[in-house]
A = this chain, B = another copy of it.
Amino acid sequence: MNDKIKLDISGALQAAAWVEGEIESNRSDLAAAAQAVDAKRKEGLLGFFDLPFNKEGAAAIKQTAEYIKGNFKNLVVIGIGGSALGNRMLHNALNHPRYNELPAGKRKGCPRVYVLDSIDADYLKGLLDVLDLKETAFNVITKSGGTVETMANFFVLKDMLKREVGPNRAAESIIATTDASRGVLLEIARQEGYRLFHIPGNVGGRYSVLSAVGLLSAAVSGIDIDELLSGAETAVKDCSAHDPYKNPALMGAALHYIAYQRGKSISVVMPYSDALDYFGDWYCQLWAESLGKTKHVNGTAVPVGQTPLKAIGARDQHSLLQLFLDGPDDKIFTLLRVEKRQNSFIIPPPDGAGNELQYLGGSTLEKLLASELEATESVLAKRGRMCLRISLPTVSPYTMGQLIFFYMLMTAYMGELMGINAFDQPAVEEGKRITYRLMGRPDY
């Protein structure tokens, strides 16, 4: 297929003379990072590498998706963090921009899809106001089976559902996605007889979107999950070399690492596409939670991490760009460009307008957006700011599969380069313990 995403680093090379030299001088570290990731993959520690090849899993997901499509008008995903952000990303990228507002006929009869990742009572009430529980399926997702926000929402909704439709229909309306061998959700699911999907033990939450976690709700809304996996498979193949010039994920990590070493403490992802808005949020979790760590070097604690920031073009040119250009040189930028959209609008001649805007007449919104992306790249380069470009021929399941895998692998490489574990999240445990105590959990 020609539908391959492409990393273009010319802007970064142009911005500063030292970039190319630093790639060279880091070559052995880069090869070592690639080797370390390969080794962890072989040891079976990096389950996200296997997901694209799990055809059997995809078939089971599609079967359950058909069941949901045939029996319900709404699907609510109950999850948080890695059990919600990937779902949002896929829907935002691959469904109609106002999918839930469309009449059923324009959704090919597929259910509406909502993601409940908030324990704000007003948010939940707002959701209930637009749902008929009798026609709603729930996919509750927590890897540990005990995520407190997810389970609290689940207990509230399960109780309502039981009272509304009775325990049998309730059990048929709930699909649980959790660990295969442990946890409260697993226990309840077995006891009450829910349909059940498992998250492999070696796939962390933020690396799980290509498992049942992200794929079920995608399939329910008609997204071609085989194409998603096929895109990821392509990226696995295209990102296997140990030479950064032959492995774009390794090159992406190289540039972020070099930038980080030079004091770029912030990594800005800026899609020029509304369909990639939630890709930005998914990226923020992936980058922040994987790389924000405290290292222990010779007995000294060294906090490391690069803060991710999402911006949307052209919108945020009118919000954040002033800071990006005139503010501190503490950022590396990745602009995402979509080469072809599904729609096109010609801008009519602005009759009645003065000369100032006449030039717009006859052009298109797409050309304007593409020109703004180029202008942003150009002004960033002029100020010596490092800027990468990722081009997607279109936003499709196949290109999204590539993009997702590319980013997960780049994150894994970056973890190796920074000398930290990109797959745990030790700091958040402490806050959880305090919450338990405040909530009166007996053992805290």
Contact = CB atoms under 8 A, between A and B. Distances in A.
A21 interface: no
Interface string A201-239: 000010000000000000000000000000000000000
B146 A123 contact: no
A439 B122 contact: no
A38 interface: no
Contacts of A125: 97, 342-343, 345
Given A80-B315, A328-B305, A321 B121 contact: no
A117 B312 CA distance: 11
A366 B121 CA distance: 7
Interface string A427-440: 11011101110111
A331 B106 CA distance: 46
A360 B155 contact: yes
Contact of A430 (B205, B272, B325): B325
A327 B305 contact: yes
A184 B368 CA distance: 18
A245 interface: no
Interface stretch (A5-13, A64-72, A283-291, A400-408): A283-291
Interface in A302-351: 303-305, 307, 309, 312, 314-315, 317-331, 341-348, 350
A353 B431 contact: no
Query: How many interface residues does chain A have, given as a range?
Result: 35 or more
A148 interface: yes
A187 to B, nearest CB: 6
- Secondary structure of the A contact surface, majority rule: helix
A299 interface: no
A28 interface: no
Given A155-B347, A363-B439, A428-B321, A184 B354 contact: yes
Contact of A126 (B98, B158, B312): B98
Given A151-B350, A188-B352, A288-B327, 10 more contacts: A96-B126, A97-B123, A102-B130, A119-B314, A120-B275, A122-B275, A265-B330, A284-B320, A288-B322, A305-B328
A439 B368 contact: yes
A162 to B, nearest CB: 9
Contacts of A291: 323, 327
A129 interface: yes
A18 interface: no
A14 interface: no
A360 B266 CA distance: 38
B285 A318 contact: yes
Given A123-B97, A275-B122, A354-B184, A320 B288 contact: yes
Contact of A317 (B364, B371, B428, B436): B428
Residue from A129, A285, A347 with most neighbouring chain B CB atoms (10 Å): A347
A229 B378 CA distance: 42
A442 B305 contact: no
Contacts of A149: 314, 318, 368, 372
Given A127-B97, A275-B122, A359-B436, A427 B284 contact: no
Nearest to A124: B345
Contacts of A281: 319
Interface in A368-412: 368-369, 371-372, 374-376, 378-379, 382
A183 B330 CA distance: 36
A297 interface: no
A159 B348 contact: yes
B187 A353 contact: yes
A313 to B, nearest CB: 9
